Structure 1
Amino acid sequence: MQAVDMMIKNVYKVSEKDSVRSVIEKFIDYRISGVPVINDRNEVVAYVSDGDIMRYIGRHKDIIVDSLYTVNVIKGDDEEFENRVKKILDLSVLQIAKKKVITAPWDEEIENVAATLGKKQIKKLPIERDGKLIGIISRGDVIRHTFKTIL
């Protein structure tokens, strides 16, 4: 089985010209947690996830790791947090998105797709044909398709 046989063809995506506000609106409206960022030629130029947004608004300097299992967060000024949240909305998606995107060709064997998702610890893998986005595969897609005939 190849990636094209399993991929989701109706891909939620955003333009490289979009703001973070429009990305978050898509996350909320479609109940998703990440999308490929494409240019005018439908080429994947970045990927933005809820984790990218969390890293931006989070208070990194105030997180203290006491041990392997204990993390203490020092509470800060709520107004400061709200200001960070408001500032991110008007940023360009490319200011927070990951630019090094792992993709797979449409004819990639599903075993290799599964290996890539696992090894690279990513949740979704954009699928391309001739350098253009044509679909996406998630870890859940691989598990559902792989085990539905066995269970």
Structure 2
Amino acid sequence: MKVRDVMTRKVVSVPADTPVLAIARLLADRGISAVPVTDGWGLLLGLVSEADLIRRLSSGDAPEPGFLRALLYDRDRAAERYAAVHGATAGDIMTREVITVTEEVTVEHAAALIEAHRVRRLPVVQDGVLVGILSRADLLRALLAPPAATSDDAIRAAVAAEMQRLPWADAPYVFFEVAGGAVTLHGFCHSAAVRRGLAAIAAGVPGVTAVVDRISDLQATRWA
């Protein structure tokens, strides 16, 4: 599944000269946590999030006193940070380094980016132009979408490929069969964790309707 299949295409964006208070009101009224900033051509310039607005409040605290803090205090850096946080417009306070994706990226890769960078959404761009937003909610809808019908051969190939890709899944005494979309695991394995992992591999392949674990405990079989 691709990002284009689940992303939100109707995106609210603001120009760089939008007042900060107007952005705060927009986020509150729309019930959204961030808004993209674009130019007149639709090019993505940055993103203003709730975090950017919260920093505006938190930075109001005066610096803690102390000789060491005073010695290490960087006035220029502090002034620049204050100006950025307390700027009057979206262009002043927006986050400029934004992780983006294109419509052709897989939802799995997009989910990995969201997890790795600890963000709630990814702007979707085409040649720099904003065309949509992919949020965590969009990914949840993708997870709940009914899987398309998949042949047993395709399921078998996908399970085998994933087992080969993951080093821990190298279980030479385990094999599986696929019939009617159901994956049945056979063989011997001494690790309960590996058994659970192998079952998870099978369950995660699109089109799988059931997973049957018939793997035996290698140690128990040896001493039986």
* TM-score, normalised with respect to structure 2: 0.52
Is the aligned partner of 1:106 residue 2:103?
yes
Secondary structure in structure 1 of the residue aligned to 2:105: coil
Equivalent pair of 1:3/1:113 in contact (CA under 8 Å): yes
Residue matched to 1:30: 30
Residue matched to 2:118: 121
Residue matched to 1:48: 48
Q: Distance in 2 between matches of 1:114 and 1:39?
A: 27
Q: Alignment partner for residue 135 of structure 1, among 114, 132, 136?
A: 132
Would you tell me which structure has more helix in proportion to its own residues?
2
Q: Distance in 1 between matches of 2:86 and 2:48?
A: 14
> Structure 1's 60 and 138: CA in aligned 2 closer, same or farther, altered over 3 A?
same
Give RMSD over aligned pairs: 2.3
Report the more deviating stretch, 48-57 or 141-150.
141-150
Q: Distance in 2 between matches of 1:149 and 1:115?
A: 21
Q: Distance in 2 between matches of 1:89 and 1:100?
A: 18
Identity of aligned residues (%): 27
Structure with the greater alpha carbon radius of gyration: 2
Report the more deviating stretch, 2-11 or 12-21.
12-21
Q: Distance in 1 between matches of 2:87 and 2:98?
A: 23
Q: Distance in 2 between matches of 1:60 and 1:90?
A: 13
Structure 2 stretches of 5 or more lacking a match? 65-84, 148-224
Equivalent pair of 1:43/1:132 in contact (CA under 8 Å): yes
